[in-house]
């Protein structure tokens, strides 16, 4: 297992290179929540700039997490994108379309529209009648 200090050093190094645009899918709880908070914390202390999209089902949890991110990284740009069911391709397409539209309308740091980091942590999948969490 990787030591915590090694992971923290990698997060800091990632934030020091250039401004980042990150997308966190399924980050309204669990691993995704902790990951977006860790990136916001690292950027708040050492970063060159951060825009993060949190895509998830729970808008209330998303709002709470984005508020925490803003406290950790006051210069960051944090946005919630509501997505109902990531097992449905139409919902995935709609979510991607919303993020692409926001990036095209106002590219972060005046550069080209882009996504530098994609963190996929959605935790709910349906296979017929069986459910896995």
Each residue's pLDDT expressed in tens, for the chain with a length of 133 residues? 889 898 878 777 777 777 899 999 988 888 889 999 999 998 887 778 899 999 999 999 999 999 999 999 999 999 999 998 888 899 999 999 999 999 999 998 888 899 999 999 876 555 565 555 5
pLDDT value at residue 127:
59
Sign of the CA dihedral with 109 first, then 112, 113, and 115 last: negative
Q: What are phi and psi of 28, to 5 degrees?
A: -90, 5
Q: Which domains does the chain have, with CATH numbers?
A: 4-132 (3.40.50.720)
pLDDT confidence of residue 36? 92
Nearest to 116 by CA among 60, 59, 47, 68: 47
């Amino acid at each position: 297992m990787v030591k915590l200090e090694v992971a923290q050093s990698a997060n800091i190094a990632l934030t020091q290179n250039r401004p980042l645009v990150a997308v966190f899918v399924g980050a309204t709880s669990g691993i995704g929540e902790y990951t977006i908070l860790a990136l916001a914390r690292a950027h708040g202390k050492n970063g060159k700039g951060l825009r993060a999209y949190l895509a998830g089902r729970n808008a209330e949890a998303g709002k709470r997490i984005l508020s925490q991110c803003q406290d950790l990284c006051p210069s960051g740009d944090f946005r919630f994108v509501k997505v109902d069911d990531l097992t449905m391709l139409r919902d995935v397409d709609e979510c991607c379309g919303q993020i692409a539209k926001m990036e095209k309308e106002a590219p972060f740091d005046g550069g080209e529209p882009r996504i530098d980091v994609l963190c996929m942590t959605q935790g709910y999948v349906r296979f017929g009648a069986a459910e896995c969490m």
